[in-house]
Amino acid sequence: MTTSSSSRPPRRTALRALAVAVAVVGSTLPTWNASATGGPHSGPGTTAAATPTYTLTIHHLGRDGQVAPRYKTQITEFAGQGNTEVLTPTDTSGTTTVRLPKGRYLLSSMLHGKTNAEGTDWVVQPRLDLNRDTSLTIDSRTTKPVDVRPQDDSAEHVSGTMFVAAEHDGATRYANVIVATPTLRVAHRGPAAEAGSVQRWYDVYWHGKQHRYALGDVSTGDRALTGLVRHPADKDLAEVKIRGAAHPGSDGMAVLDVTPSTRDTAGSYVAAMPAPGTVSFLFSPQRGKYNIGYTNPRTEEEGPSSWYEVRNVSPRLGRSLTHTFDNGVFGPKLDGSPGVTRTGNRIAVDVPLLADGDGHQPFEQPYDTASTTLYRNGQKVKTVTGKPGRATFDVPTGRANYRVTATVRRTGQRGAATTVTASWTFASQRTAAAAKLPVSVVRFAPALGLDGTAPAGKALRVPVSVQGPARGHVRALDVAYSVNGGTSWQRAAVVGGVATVPAQKAGTAVTLRAKLTDTAGNTLTQTAVSAYRTR
């Protein structure tokens, strides 16, 4: 079985501020010098470009007021190479001294207790103006607790991430901390920065018996946070239900991935969920949008897993959203996809053929064989194999009638479409620029169980919708079903956008077909073999 990837987005945002850490021990001028343009350090207190440098001494104290031997301090300059380098001075004495160019810096310091159970204290100074020799103290006793949790006694902490983004003179620098226990304490240090120049956000995940929680807090000001307390009730959170399907014989554990889609983040919720199964996630609506990923369970016989991601989900208070992944009826989709386009004398096909019943397109989709064939005035031009619904063809300039047929086949699905085919006809000629061709698809959206089946002995209502240029411009739409793999067909009348398939006995594989003609005469024939089964 082959796996096809389709423009898969990164699952984590690259964090510019954490790209490089340069360790400096004792009193050493760092090898990088962001403010100087004239080269390496050339003498005490100056650079080759005559930029002054100053001594910065940092003392670290723990919660007991004694020297803190376990710490990690990072210094990032707003100018020059500060966007790619983070200076990390350290010394086992608890005091470290470095020599740096004159300028504005972001300072972040994590102090750890004697044991992991004591947690982490995080002190952030968004504005460190180094314009003279400076000595400062990072003191754990200035921190206050971060206590963001649901009002759910069964909930267990999964992970938390806090970010600070400071802006100065057109440059933004970042600092963050990731914790595995709910024991984080934080504090602002130093003078206030410019109004509105400091952004703070915190993401924490909890796992309860009835719900899982993604709690977030976002704010802007002139300082880093000193403590944060939020105890939202379930009624103050927005629900998203995540349903994962599994075809008979492939029951197991899927992987759920929830990540904020706005602002940089180094943390997300990644955990197993039963499939078939449903998870209720409660979100802090003020945090903004989230990306939800789902990787289905597969047996060795079925081959690689399918991985889905729906981006920019907006949880809203008072409205429950539901996303069902990896369930039928599988078929082509055009919502957000290029479709079929022509640029000059090249026709490009990019139509996902295996979007699930909710319209989620897998970024990785297992299949056995796939082909796309182009015909011009009835004569075959070329067949492209290997990528479902994707191909390019070079064609002559003049106007002609074209037919494109795309097919994907897969075995061992047991309840999902085993073969999906779409065939389009249209007329086309050379274009001066990229232009979409009049290609549309039909979506079938019956309510199926999470095993991809419909109840036997009952008629099934199948909502039918059109995507593409034909939407709102349909001359004719016929839907038919077959119980023998397409050898013979029965018409299913469409009334009010819903086709009805009569009751079938248990164990029946039902194949669906749509034939569409738009008002300009362009046509579509679309088939899903074994679109669903009855039980």
**DSSP 3-state assignment of 155?**
coil
- Residue 458 scores a pLDDT above 70: yes
Of the chain, the percentage scoring pLDDT greater than 70 comes to 87
- The residues near 241 (Cβ < 8 Å, ≥ 6 apart) are 278, 279, 280, 281, 320, 321, 322, 323
Q: Residue 4: name the closest of 320, 318, 408 by CA.
A: 408
Q: What is the pLDDT of residues 162-206, one digit of tens each?
A: 999 999 999 999 999 999 999 999 999 999 999 999 999 999 999
Q: What is the pLDDT of residues 36-93, one digit of tens each?
A: 333 333 334 444 457 899 999 999 999 999 999 899 999 999 987 655 678 999 998 9
What pLDDT shows up at residue 413? 58
What pLDDT shows up at residue 249? 65
Q: Please give the mean pLDDT across all residues of the chain.
A: 89
- Residue 28 scores a pLDDT above 50: no
Provide the pLDDT confidence category of residue 366 given band limits of 50, 70 and 90: confident
How many alpha carbons fall within 13 Å on the CB side of residue 411?
A: 5
What pLDDT shows up at residue 300? 61
Of the chain, the percentage scoring pLDDT greater than 90 comes to 78
Longest dimension (CA), the chain: 90
**DSSP 3-state assignment of 149?**
coil
Provide the pLDDT confidence category of residue 302 given band limits of 50, 70 and 90: low
Q: What is the pLDDT of residues 368-383, one digit of tens each?
A: 999 999 999 999 999 9
Q: Residue 151: name the closest of 99, 193, 208 by CA.
A: 208
DSSP letter for 169, please.
T
Give the lowest-confidence range in 333-337, 343-347, 487-491: 333-337
What pLDDT shows up at residue 30? 43
Q: Distance between CA 394 and CA 382 in Å, rounded?
A: 9
Q: Distance between CA 8 and CA 5 in Å, rounded?
A: 7
Pick the CATH number of 237-326 from 1.10.8, 2.60.40, 1.50.10, 1.20.58: 2.60.40
Q: What is the pLDDT of residues 245-268, one digit of tens each?
A: 987 666 689 999 999 998 777 678
Provide the pLDDT confidence category of residue 118 given band limits of 50, 70 and 90: confident
Is the pLDDT higher at 437 or at 265? 437
Domain ranges of the chain: 1-230, 237-326, 339-534
Give the lowest-confidence range in 302-316, 333-347, 386-400, 434-448: 302-316
- The residues near 294 (Cβ < 8 Å, ≥ 6 apart) are 242, 244, 254, 255, 256, 257, 307, 308, 309, 323, 325, 326, 360
Q: What is the pTM of this model?
A: 0.85
Counted residue by residue, the chain has a size of 535
Determine how many CB atoms are found less than 10 A away from the CB of residue 3. Answer: 14
- Residue 520 scores a pLDDT above 70: yes
Q: Give me the mean pLDDT over the 270-282 stretch.
A: 94
What pLDDT shows up at residue 83? 58
Give the lowest-confidence range in 366-370, 446-450, 526-530: 366-370
Q: Distance between CA 525 and CA 515 in Å, rounded?
A: 5
The strand pairing partners of 253, in sequence order, are 274
Provide the pLDDT confidence category of residue 23 given band limits of 50, 70 and 90: very low
At 255, which helix (H) or strand (E)? strand 252-260
Q: What is the pLDDT of residues 392-416, one digit of tens each?
A: 999 999 999 999 999 999 876 555 7
- Residue 425 scores a pLDDT above 50: yes
